[in-house]
Amino acid sequence: MFNKLEALIRVPGISGYEEPICHYISGEVSKLGIISRVDALGNLIAEIGTGDKSVVLIAHMDELGLIVSYVEENGYIHFRKVGGIDDRTLIGRAVELLTEKGVVLGVIGIKPPHLMSDRSEQLKTVSSDHLYIDIGTRSRSESNALGVDILTPVVLQKQFNILNNEYISARGVDDRFGCLTLLEVLASLKDLDLPYRLIFVWSAKEEIGLHGAKGIASTIRPDLCIAVDAFTSADMPEIPYHLAPARLGEGPVLRVVDNRAMADPQLRKFFQEICRRHDIPLQVAMTGGGTDGAELQAIGIRMIPVSVPIRYMHSPVELIHIKDLEQLIKMLILGLQEIQELL
């Protein structure tokens, strides 16, 4: 599981530039003997089972990143954030610019304290508008010659760390753990004769407004939707626990309320019963943010987001517990074999 998740995390795919991760996942789906397709918005879709009723299992494959907005005459590069990146996490970061000529390495520079006339500057968060990428060039033409220009996508260089043999920390755990969950569920259920259509969707452009899910809502219109996405947990110092009460290592989470949607009560009770019968630890909690499931609920589809708790969300060191992920996969594999009773 560690190796599979690392492989997914290492593949770039910022919102609007999902082609590399889409290609990787479609290859993994193909290895399972399943045909997939990509729709007009860039969502990757695969399907098993038969029948008039359908269930969508959706996880977004895009990630946070940057995009080149301007190259100065002196070669330095300005950028725009893609998705909800906290400016505090950008300072002093190594980055990879994904040009058509290959990967160009760079760093996000900042004024050193030695050259500050007013040391109070150290107490301020520097806005991304005042940051720049240095790729070691001295002119715009030199930067362009490396393949760097306006619209070049940029990813923060990733480290994949295993802590205490139980925790995974990396940039992009959200929502590559969800992508892996879908692959594992597909591998387990593909040979079963499901009495309904189970549609797997690895969605695009979630981080910039759930746009891929909007397309799924308008084109597929399933009977039920299960969104696999992260649960921002308050299981850390300096955060009031009641704001998002789910602890790492204590099982997957039913994300019953967030800023965009409320889970369907029937689906909540269904998964609670599945977990009770199979001795799967389960947490039920509320948090902030939103998931792809909100867009399907908005058109009248019954929906529930299922998650694992994550510390340090939208930072370079997002952290999950491997057992939570394993138990989430088990819950879905078992539940999807019985969910036709809700259709």
Q: Report, as residue numbers or ranges, the catalytic residues.
A: 206
Any long-range contacts for 28-32 (C-beta under 8 Å, 24+ apart)? 28/183, 29/183, 29/186, 29/200, 32/183, 32/186, 32/187, 32/190
CA 296 – CA 143 distance, rounded (Å): 43
Q: What are the CA-CA distances from residue 70 to residues 85, 115, 135, 332 (Å)? A: 19, 26, 14, 45
- C-alpha radius of gyration, the chain, whole number: 21
Contact in structure between 305 and 57 (CB atoms under 8 Å) = no
CA 236 – CA 251 distance, rounded (Å): 17
Q: Is 78 exposed, middle or buried (0-12, 13-18, 19+ CB in 10 A)?
A: middle
Token duo for residue 8 = 């997914």
DSSP for 132-189?
EEE-S-SSHHHHHHTT--TT-EEEE----EEETTTEEEETTHHHHHHHHHHHHHHHHH
CA 158 – CA 167 distance, rounded (Å): 16
83: left (phi over 0), alpha (psi -120 to 50) or beta: left
If we measure between CA atoms, which residue out of 230, 229, 287 comes closest to residue 260? 287
